[in-house]
Structure 1
Amino acid sequence: MSTRTDDQLPVPASLPDAARAAAARGEPLVVMVTLKGCAFCDVVRRSHLLPMLRRGEVAAVQVDMLDRQTPIVGFDQRPTTGQALARQWRIGVAPTLLFVDAQGRELAERLEGMGLADFYGPYLDERLRQARQRLAPR
């Protein structure tokens, strides 16, 4: 179970469950590490990930890198928080997108920060292509 409002991505109760559901559809799980009040995070979320999620083109969730309250089951099956995950993943900038398989392995290079808005969509598309290619059965 995850929670979501119309202008936010779902916050997963369990990352392994979210990643298994994505993998069952042949998709990597996109984990957006975000920060409350981050304008760049809002642009990535509203202009890229939410429209793709609504069209069924991507499986995506978000975790707040400073959230110490919301419980999330990590890929190690232990309870954790967004803040602990960001520390574990060595994330220092928001937004950061991770592209992971059902075991939590990264399938493509992280997409860190926002950079130039005009190029973000193509960078995201390329990371998704790489992640999907690595996820595909051999």
Structure 2
Amino acid sequence: MKAIWLFVLFAWFSPAFGAGGGTLSFPSNLQHGKVPAVVILFSLPDCAYCEKVRQQSLRHIHADPGYEGRVAVYEIDFSDNKRSFTWFDGNRYTGKSLAGPLNVKFSPTVMVFNAKGTAAGKPLLGASLPEFYGAYLDELIKSAWAL
């Protein structure tokens, strides 16, 4: 119980976890498959629901020992046509050019991929109750590990 309260206090006072903490890391190169599961939040600027998903469901992954070295979390603005990155297939994309092939039309959309870029189940669309959202996300991550 003490550990939970310490985590809550840390999260409350930590700038990385605070409200308005900004976006998650932007991927530069996903081709090398350094981890067995990659979680990507496809977002839009000023999306309040994206912030909710970011804070309640995605930022904790970096602090979870069960995920350490096994999951990477990134965020891509799917309206962005300037910043590019290397996708799993070795091709360069912007958020906007990748949104079409992945059928990303709704913000927020969370997708989980294995190290080779295979999607692990259906995307999570919108923001839901954290306890349900987290359970669905955990299930997708475990599916990516099994692929």
TM category, shorter: 0.7 to 0.9
Q: Map Cα deviations across residues 15-47 of structure 1 (whole Å, 9 max, x no partner).
A: 223xx1112xxxx11111111111111111111
Could you say if the C-alpha distance between residues 69 and 54 of structure 1 is closer, same or farther in structure 2, counting changes exceeding 3 Å? farther
2:99 is matched with which residue: 86, 90, 106? 86
Choose from 4, 7, 29 the match for 1:14. Answer: 29
Q: Quick one: distance in 1 between partners of 2:120 and 2:56?
A: 23
Q: Which shifted more, 47-56 or 97-106?
A: 47-56
> Which residue of 39, 51, 57 corresponds with 2:48?
39
Opposite residue 63 of structure 2, the aligned amino acid is: R
SS at match of 1:105: coil
Runs (5+) with no aligned partner, structure 2: 1-14
Once the two structures are TM-superposed, the CA of residue 126 in structure 1 deviates from its matched residue by 2.2
Count of residues in Structure 1 that have an aligned counterpart in Structure 2: 124
What SS does structure 1 have at the residue aligned with 2:81? coil
Residue 81 of structure 1 deviates from its aligned partner by 0.2
Aligned partners of 1:80, 1:40: CA distance in 2, in Å? Answer: 25
Q: What SS does structure 1 have at the residue aligned with 2:100? A: helix
1:52 aligns with 2:64: no
Runs of 4+ more than 6 Å apart: none
| CA-CA distance at 1:78 after TM superposition | 1.9
Q: Which amino acid aligns with 1:95?
A: P
**Counterparts of 1:101 and 1:63, CA distance in 2:** 17
Distance in 2 separating the partners of 1:71 and 1:63:
10
- Could you list the runs of 5+ residues in structure 1 that have no partner in the other structure? none
1:108–1:128: 8 Å Cα contact kept in structure 2? no
Listed as ranges, the matches of 1:1-138 within 5 Å are 6=16, 7=21, 8-17=23-32, 20-23=33-36, 28-55=37-64, 57=67, 58-132=71-145, 134-135=146-147
What SS does the corresponding residue of 2:34 show, helix, strand or coil?
helix
Note the C-alpha offset of 1:52. Answer: 1.3
Deviation at 1:130, TM superposition (A): 2.5
